[in-house]
Chain A
């Protein structure tokens, strides 16, 4: 997505792309990825239609496994990338890893042993994965503690923050989308303008404004800290608000499309109020693209958390990573990056698998390929 760090852009391309990604599950071992030849497409569609859902479950399993294999590949590649980053860094690898302790002979010897630096690169690489596979993320040469323990200390706080932020985002998105879809032009224009402004405002600035008003002026919330719901409320709001407005845009588009469908008309004819049509029928249809997008906001949630933890003086992944950068504590940075990539892959994979379970249309043969064409 264009949405690198913030996410102002919303084109239909972005909404469709994640769906398309599901169909091109990487090296599909079952080989059910049809070759993109034009001639056999209609034939395939026809045969799939004439042979309804009897073979649905095996296909579903195969697709599920293919998706899991893809996730495993992604994590392997992300880990390889962090390994490559250390190798490609300017200067000697050992100096990069040691950071401020580069002149300590004892630690030098330890790093050479830990990372197998006296061996060829290929052996170092295998050793790196051997340790990763055993949950050993290395040792912080600044804190003198295993990186895994450092991460385990701070990750719950970041997870709590991101989960609250996500909950706020979802509630906000549903309320905004249901309230403004299919309604008056003025209400929608107003809501769109507000959404654009909120999505464009950097979360750390929103956080500062919240801090200035609710903590310094009104004194309702603590200025800094990590414990208690009061401490998490403002940062979660700062991160969740823009993401909620972003998801609201996706959800409203889906709701509007659902309301144009014949079933919406039928429901209205049965005497349902517009609000009930939206809540009971529309949301279910609009939820699918919004679900994909919310899976993709994990990166924004984690990134927002990293920045907002600084604003609110919260302990967490962000604070840890920032201290590590200032101390040149490379193993910690790499692990923090790898952990967030793993979380991202895990969540997007879970969303795609949930799709397979929820939407029977995806169980058929190459449905999305045809939809894409």
Chain B
């Protein structure tokens, strides 16, 4: 569809005065200046999470599972940075070791969502109208289940466990990616250069591989970075209600679930795991948004 179809009233307002342009320029400049601080912090947090996931022994010398009942429910001290839990395990150490579970679950679930969403969105975008409607409606149906409840249904039917948790999370993430990829693909398919390539006699598979795919894909890693936070948070929520890795696994949601019962006597066990979780989600969102801003600036 051409830009001509856009009613005049709906076109972006042409700036009437210079004031708005100046404000815009100021905002862009401010963005350029402001971006590094937040993004660097986010990257640092992500780096820390990655370090914790791959080399936890560099950050803590303790054992995440070793219980010491004589040292149970101790407040934070020099020996135990975040205190100890009801079994006398070092909370900080458990958080460090938990990073691996949260990150792996989040990454694989996101990978499943992205891959399936990509295939569905691309198929919908390049298919004839009836197939497009079919796929789009199927995606809509999937999206109509609240993701936690969809995950509950999947886990109930398939049984609890790490693999099914990942599958359930991955499934509930599909609609978001499928919709965006479909919209992008449609835009690309209707663009001038694809029409030109078609006029030049490119075969359909080559056209898709050489032009449609690379141009429709651009936004996906950006979205996946933002979506990673959601997947990690969702994994923690499902672990929290006991559907994730079972104790004594130091997964963040599972740590929080255990600390829920000891809030009155040992509130500190509930602070740091949640803070780590929130910080990771924020970091992936900030990084994704910064990437998105850069990506959108590159677009005409």
Contact = CB atoms under 8 A, between A and B. Distances in A.
Interface of A: 1-9, 11, 13, 17, 21, 24, 26-27, 36, 38, 41-42, 45, 73-74, 77-78, 81-82, 85-86, 88-90, 96, 185, 189, 196-197, 200-205, 208-209, 211-212, 216, 260-261, 298-300, 302-304, 306-307, 310-311, 318, 321-322, 324-326, 328, 330, 333-334, 336-337, 340-341, 344-345, 348, 370-373
28 contacts: A2-B176, A2-B230, A5-B172, A6-B281, A24-B136, A41-B5, A42-B4, A42-B5, A81-B141, A81-B145, A90-B159, A189-B34, A200-B278, A201-B277, A202-B281, A204-B240, A205-B278, A208-B274, A212-B270, A216-B264, A260-B13, A299-B147, A302-B146, A302-B149, A307-B237, A307-B241, A325-B160, A373-B3
A216 B233 contact: no
Contacts of A344: 144-146
B277 A205 contact: yes
B141 A38 contact: no
A324 B156 contact: yes
A289 B64 CA distance: 47
Nearest to A44: B5
Contacts of B256: 204-205, 208
Nearest to A37: B1
A190 to B, nearest CB: 13
Count chain B CB atoms within 10 A of each CB in A7, A189, A205 and give the residue with the most. Answer: A205
B183 interface: yes
A153 to B, nearest CB: 18
B185 interface: no
Contacts of A300: 146
Contacts, number: 232
Given A202-B237, A328-B156, A2 B226 contact: yes
Interface in B147-171: 147-150, 152-160, 169
B231 interface: yes
Interface residues of B, number: 78
Residue of B10, B136, B153, B175 with highest tally of chain A CB at under 10 A:
B153
Nearest to A223: B264
A202 B277 contact: yes
B282 interface: yes
A243 to B, nearest CB: 13
A322 B30 CA distance: 48
B20 interface: yes
Contacts of A328: 156
Contacts of B198: none
B83 to A, nearest CB: 14
A200 B234 CA distance: 11
Contacts of B160: 325
A341 B144 CA distance: 5
A78 B146 CA distance: 12
Nearest to B109: A4
Contacts of A321: 149, 152
Contacts of A208: 256, 259-260, 263, 270, 274
Contacts of B95: none
B180 interface: yes
Given A212-B267, A303-B149, A344-B146, A8 B281 contact: yes
Contacts of A202: 233, 236-237, 240, 274, 277-278, 281
Given A5-B172, A78-B145, A86 B278 contact: no
Given A78-B144, A306-B152, A38 B263 contact: no
Given A3-B230, A205-B277, A212-B267, A336 B152 contact: yes
A13 B145 CA distance: 21
A328 B152 CA distance: 11
B179 interface: yes
B108 interface: no
A231 B274 CA distance: 23
Contacts of A85: 153-154, 157
